[in-house]
Amino acid sequence: MEDMTLWKQWQDWNNTCKWVELSYVLSEETPHWSGFPAMKSETLFDYPDGFFVNKFDIVSQYGTHVDAPSHFVEGMPGLDAISAKQLVLPLCVIDISDKVRGNVDYEVVPQDILDWEARYGRIPEGAFVAARSDWHKRDDLNNYDAHEQKHYPGWGLDSLKFLVEKRSIAAIGHETSDTDSSVAAAQHGYVCEYYILEQNRYQIELMINLDQVPPTGALIFCGFPRAKDAAGFTARCVAICPK
């Protein structure tokens, strides 16, 4: 008799858990980094041909997407080097939305992580840590000022160093199109993004619905093509959460 434990767990999940979509719908209107063109699509075959097929013209980092370490760091692994085991991870959601409402340039600091741990316990090794800013609820994700400077929140370098060096996390995520806050990136470059990728971690950008995920206790499932030497790709991520 085969072991049916996983099937029973799947049934339990469907009965006792909720599933939360963490990715944008992919289209020409999908939010994306301002330096990239919008995707284009065309129909190659239609039903009179016997089947329906689309052709997409799209940059690898479009909409909700994964960044492989090679995205910023030459010689580091691409998407095909991310193991299947790294695609399902414990999900920790650090809520900085109140602070962002008061300061759109806010950066996650180590104290935010320590405050989270004081309430929910130590972040487990191999976790996926997401910064909830509620930025996905905005109509304008770039938030330009009168001088054409973007304003949106990000991670602070010290907080990422803490997560990597003290908690040995596997990946990070956020709702903005960059790891660094826009103002910090304009002043110092993308130091936070370079750091996290240099540490052979991956990240998911332009996430949605983190406000529907509990701070602790959920799992994240990250899906993207196993593209050889790819620096990134549009991703589909979902969370399974206790109701």
Classify residue 4: in a domain, yes or no: no
Side-chain half-sphere exposure of 167, counting CA atoms within 13 A: 25
Classify residue 225: in a domain, yes or no: yes
Phi/psi of residue 218, each to 5°? -95, 165
pLDDT in tens, 151-190: 999 999 999 999 999 999 999 999 999 999 999 999 999 9
pLDDT at residue number 171: 98
Mean per-residue pLDDT over the chain, rounded: 97
Q: State the average pLDDT over residues 71-90.
A: 97
pLDDT at residue number 172: 98
> CATH number for the domain including 76?
3.50.30.50
Q: State the average pLDDT over residues 138-142.
A: 95
Classify residue 1: in a domain, yes or no: no
Classify residue 64: in a domain, yes or no: yes
pLDDT at residue number 1: 62
Residue 243 has pLDDT above 90, yes or no: no
Residue 137 has pLDDT above 90, yes or no: yes
pLDDT at residue number 49: 87
Q: Which domain holds residue 212?
A: 16-26+59-242
Question: Distance between CA 50 and CA 44 in Å, rounded?
Answer: 12
* DSSP string of 162-207, one letter each residue: HHHHTT--SEEEESSS-SS-HHHHHHH-SHHHHHHHHTT-EEEES-
How many other β-carbons are positioned within 10 Å of the β-carbon of residue 68? 27
Classify residue 2: in a domain, yes or no: no
- pTM reported for the whole predicted model: 0.96
pLDDT at residue number 154: 98
Question: Distance between CA 149 and CA 136 in Å, rounded?
Answer: 19
Classify residue 226: in a domain, yes or no: yes
The helix/strand/coil state of 36 is coil
pLDDT at residue number 195: 98
The domain total for the chain is: 1
pLDDT in tens, 81-112: 999 999 999 999 999 999 999 999 999 999 99
Classify residue 99: in a domain, yes or no: yes
Classify residue 6: in a domain, yes or no: no
- From residue 57, alpha-carbon distances to 39, 62, 65, 136, 219 in Å are 6, 11, 15, 24, 32
